[in-house]
């Protein structure tokens, strides 16, 4: 991927961070987008640069059209036009539906789904010009199987799967693939906070017998972003250790 530019939305922490590092390891120049964690994003960039890679951190709320336009302009100016896009930015704001506010619904849908629309639309122009592109949307097992308390989040993540299939059909003839990766229970700061009793109970539901790592998710993304995955499009790769089986 040495001549490629990749943009990872929400790339400063967790799964996004691991994806940024993996793509950089494969030789891509990586734009690490972040909404608020500037210091964390800078750390990712430093880590990539320290190993001889090329990366920049770019702040933008990817649910906002003007900020997305500015994000792509900055990336193109600093690294070149991105032809690998990973729509990873996502938030949760859980609650049982009977208690969920309109604001909770809209905020999660804007960050998780509207952002993919805005970024993909903007990224397609350079990809069409290059007649090559890789779009990977980070969905979730919640979007595949549903999860109580995550009506908004699951809807956004299931929405990404339908979006993935539709755009795959639109641009498949132009050398551009669009796929989704649906992680299951992945060990992050968020799951650490739940405590060992919760995560041990969760692990019992997983065929592999443990939580996944962010690197294991990034590995699937790296493959889908590679030249070798040119005949895979519109798919959702579930990376959950057999949780949803």
Partner 1 sequence: MERSDIESKMKELLVEELGLDEDKITMDATFEEDLEVDSLGVVELLMALEDNFGVQIPDEEAESLVTVGEAVDLVQKKINA
Q: How far is the CB of 180 from partner 1 (least distance, A)?
A: 21
Among 38, 46, 65, 170, binds partner 1 (CB under 8 A): 170
Q: Which of residues 124-163 bind partner 1 (CB under 8 A)?
A: 125, 128-129
Q: Which of 34, 153, 223, 231 is catalytic?
A: 153
Q: How far is the CB of 129 from partner 1 (least distance, A)?
A: 8
Distance CA 64, CA 116 (A): 11
Among 149, 174, 226, 244, binds partner 1 (CB under 8 A): 174
**210 interacts with partner 1 by CB under 8 A:** no
| Range list of H helices, the chain | 14-25, 38-50, 65-78, 102-109, 115-130, 141-145, 151-171, 189-192, 196-203, 214-224
Residue carrying structure tokens 């994806």: 19
3-state secondary structure of 137: strand
Instruction: Give the binding range for partner 1 (CB under 8 A) out of 3-11, 96-104, 147-155, 166-174.
Output: 166-174
Nearer to partner 1 (CB atom), residue 125 or residue 210: 125
Instruction: Give the binding range for partner 1 (CB under 8 A) out of 22-30, 102-110, 169-177, 187-195.
Output: 169-177
3-state secondary structure of 194: coil
Distance CA 24, CA 53 (A): 6
Category of 27 on φ-ψ map: left (φ > 0), alpha (ψ -120 to 50) or beta: left
Distance CA 100, CA 116 (A): 23
Among 3, 98, 173, 193, binds partner 1 (CB under 8 A): 173
- Nearest residue to 178 (alpha-carbon basis) of 241, 217, 124: 124
Q: How far is the CB of 128 from partner 1 (least distance, A)?
A: 6
Active site residue 34: no
Instruction: Give the binding range for partner 1 (CB under 8 A) out of 19-27, 41-49, 60-68, 171-179.
Output: 171-179
Would you tell me which residues interact with partner 1 (CB under 8 A)?
A: 125, 128-129, 170-171, 173-174
């Amino acid at each position: 991927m040495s001549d490629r530019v990749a943009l990872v939305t929400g790339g400063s922490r967790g799964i996004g961070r691991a994806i940024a590092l993996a793509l950089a390891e494969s030789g891509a120049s990586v734009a690490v987008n972040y909404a608020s964690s500037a210091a964390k994003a800078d750390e990712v960039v430093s880590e990539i640069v320290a190993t001889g890679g090329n990366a920049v951190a770019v702040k933008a709320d990817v649910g906002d059209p003007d900020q997305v336009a500015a994000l792509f302009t900055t990336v193109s100016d600093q690294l070149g036009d991105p032809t690998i896009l990973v729509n990873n930015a996502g938030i949760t704001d859980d609650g049982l539906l009977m208690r969920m506010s309109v604001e909770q619904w809209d905020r999660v849908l804007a960050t998780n789904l509207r952002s993919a629309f805005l970024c993909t639309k903007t990224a397609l122009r350079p990809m069409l010009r290059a007649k090559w592109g890789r779009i990977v949307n980070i969905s979730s097992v919640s979007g595949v199987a549903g999860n109580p308390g995550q009506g908004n989040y699951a809807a956004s993540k299931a929405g990404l799967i339908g979006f993935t299939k539709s755009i795959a059909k639109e641009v498949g003839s132009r050398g551009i693939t669009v796929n989704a990766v649906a992680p299951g229970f992945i060990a992050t700061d968020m799951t650490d906070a739940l405590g060992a009793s919760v995560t041990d109970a969760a692990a019992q539901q997983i065929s592999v017998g443990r939580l996944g790592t962010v690197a294991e998710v990034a590995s699937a993304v790296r493959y889908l972003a590679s030249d070798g995955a040119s005949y895979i499009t519109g798919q959702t790769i579930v990376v959950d250790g057999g949780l949803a089986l």
